[in-house]
Amino acid sequence: MSSPAAPAAPKVREVVVNPPAGAPTRVRPDGLAKTLSRTLRWLYGAYEQAMRRVQMLPSRIRARRIVRKQGGKLRLCLGSGAAPIESWLNLDLDGRPDLRWDLRLPMPFPANSVDRIYSEHFIEHLNREDGAGLLRSCRRLLRADGIMRIATPDLPALVDAYRGDWREQDWLDWPGHEWIDSPAKMLNQCFHGWGHKFLYDAAELEAALRAAGFAEVRRCEIGESSQQELCGLETRLDSLLIFEAWGEKGAAG
């Protein structure tokens, strides 16, 4: 015996409503608020960027004089802070650097005018977009045989410390860090303390260097380099993620 036929599904009538031509489109209030807040954020970002540029005008003029004096043999130490390199040009936003410069802006030197660039414990103070901009600016300034060396905390090493012997870090003994008495406080300090914005692991930093246009990227040991002038520059024990980068992607030779 055949089973009874299933009842037919009720017919649904499709109704298409076309708003009359010229009728105002209705914007949902939450959509409007989002658009407004996005526009305001964009405007504020553009205003901040413009103010930074204005504040950097005297340094831009000074940079022109420095380039005229030094020719194409510039060596730059970025975010030099309390560890400037003697006879290099030290750039920082604070303190008493050779050139005060906000490194969120492209540096005020001509392309192919820089011989070496060094930076320790600085890139993690920029957000990911500003970090990418800085690396692009470095690539643009370096001569064909120029090299950049960059040292920064190593994210996996910090996660290992969190899971393991988190007390084994020299900076925990520095004044002002007594409140850090647990692995969670230690790791949060690394992510959010000292003005840190973005921490890198090797894959992330290598990808950022390559995306900036560097053709060659090599991980280095602390203090070691095939270039004599780049040896022994690290001043911190936790500068564990170190890369040297050179060459230009797509450049002939």
Ligand X SMILES: C[S@@+](CC[C@H](N)C(=O)[O-])C[C@H]1O[C@@H](n2cnc3c(N)ncnc32)[C@H](O)[C@@H]1O
**Residue 198 beta carbon to ligand X: minimum distance, rounded to whole angstroms:** 12
Q: Which residue in 80, 113, 137, 169 binds ligand X (CB under 6 A)?
A: 80
In the numeric block, the tokens 């040009």 are attached to: 89
Integer angstrom CA distances of residue 252 from 26, 137, 143, 212, 247: 56, 20, 14, 17, 10
Give 116 or 125: the residue with its C-beta nearer to ligand X.
125
Would you say 249 and 213 are in contact if contact means Cβ atoms under 8 Å apart?
A: yes
Closest CA to 149 of 74, 236, 241: 241
Count residues near ligand X (CB under 6 A).
Answer: 18
Q: Considering the rule CB under 6 A, would residue 189 count as an interface residue with ligand X?
A: no
- Tell me which amino acid residue 51 is: M
Cα 206 from Cα 220, distance rounded (Å)? 12
Total count of residues recorded for the chain: 253
Q: Considering the rule CB under 6 A, would residue 94 count as an interface residue with ligand X?
A: yes
Q: Considering the rule CB under 6 A, would residue 236 count as an interface residue with ligand X?
A: yes
Give 113 or 239: the residue with its C-beta nearer to ligand X.
239
Q: Considering the rule CB under 6 A, would residue 116 count as an interface residue with ligand X?
A: no
- Tell me which amino acid residue 219 is: R
By rule CB under 6 A, what string of x and - marks binding of each residue 118-157 to ligand X?
--xxx--x--------------------------------
Give 92 or 248: the residue with its C-beta nearer to ligand X.
92
Using the rule CB under 6 A, give the single segment among 11-19, 43-51, 64-72, 100-108 that binds ligand X. 100-108
**CB-count exposure of residue 187 (10 Å: 0-12, 13-18, 19+):** middle
**Residue 99 beta carbon to ligand X: minimum distance, rounded to whole angstroms:** 10
Give strand pairing partners of 118.
77, 149
Q: Considering the rule CB under 6 A, would residue 75 count as an interface residue with ligand X?
A: no
Using the rule CB under 6 A, give the single segment among 23-31, 75-83, 171-179, 242-250 that binds ligand X. 75-83
Q: Considering the rule CB under 6 A, would residue 185 count as an interface residue with ligand X?
A: no
Closest CA to 223 of 213, 211, 235, 231: 231
SS3 116: strand
Q: Considering the rule CB under 6 A, would residue 235 count as an interface residue with ligand X?
A: yes
Report the residue closest to ligand X, judged by CB: 81
By rule CB under 6 A, what string of x and - marks binding of each residue 24-63 to ligand X?
----------------------------------------
In the numeric block, the tokens 């000074």 are attached to: 62
Would you say 122 and 152 are in contact if contact means Cβ atoms under 8 Å apart?
A: yes
Give 80 or 169: the residue with its C-beta nearer to ligand X.
80
How many Å separate Cα 148 from the centre of its chain? 15
Kindly list the residues in this chain that would bind ligand X in the complex (CB under 6 A). Answer: 79-83, 92-94, 102-104, 120-122, 125, 194, 235-236
